[in-house]
Amino acid sequence: MTIHREGTHSIIIAVSVLIFFNLAVRVFFCDCTLIMLISLIISLFLLFMLIFFFRKPKRILTADIFGVIAPADGKVVVIEKTTENEFFKDERIQISIFMSVWNVHINFFPLSGIVKYFRYHKGKYLLAKNPKSSQENERTSVVIENKNGIKVLYRQIAGTVARRIVFYVREGEEVVQSEESGFIKFGSRVDVFLPLDTDIKVKIGDKVKGSQTVIAEFSE
């Protein structure tokens, strides 16, 4: 396991702040060893949590030309037929994966193909589990078309804690299934919109791993 590059800046700032904080505690409470010890323990705990959040585990990437791979770690919270109004403007099957602060927050391409559409939308920071978050929160929308002409839209959605969405994709670019597509800092959600005849391989409540779990398959 390594530290993801998106965490480098945050960790450097955190280390600097915690060092300054502990030096200040030492100056003002030099006669109280207990307070200095508590300060050090809290600082180390916070630093550990930050490093844990930005972890990048080693994984053998899954490839499935007829499948859709989970674009994020987390829990499946929605599987439903819905109208996708931004790109397709018709009915699709929506699968939503909620990412808690304990999950790996790297995002992955759910299939290989050409990026036909990409948009970044500024927005609110509603709770990621709120159905309105898909339309009102800060988000990106990416449509990939595979070699068989099947299009899939997946959307990174910020939550109440997440305040920055990072994306590594451009319109017209060719992308590879299970490779990194972006990063969402802190709790958030990813939605995937699939054709109605797609065979769904997960159910609500399932825990999935990005780049690992097959969440759906297309008919051959």
Beta strand 55-56 pairing with 67-69 = unpaired
Q: Collect all residues with Cβ–Cβ distance below 8 Å to 81 and sequence separation of at least 6.
A: 91, 92, 93, 94, 196
Three-class DSSP category at 158 = strand
How is 48-111 classified by DSSP, letter by letter? Answer: HHHHHHTEE--------TTEEE-SSSEEEEEEEEEEETTTT-EEEEEEEEEE-TTS--EEE-SS
List residues with catalytic annotation.
188
Q: Are 129 and 98 a contacting pair, CB within 8 Å?
A: yes
Helix (H) or strand (E) holding 214: strand 214-217
Largest CA distance in the chain: 73
At residue 95, φ and ψ (nearest 5 deg) are -115, 125
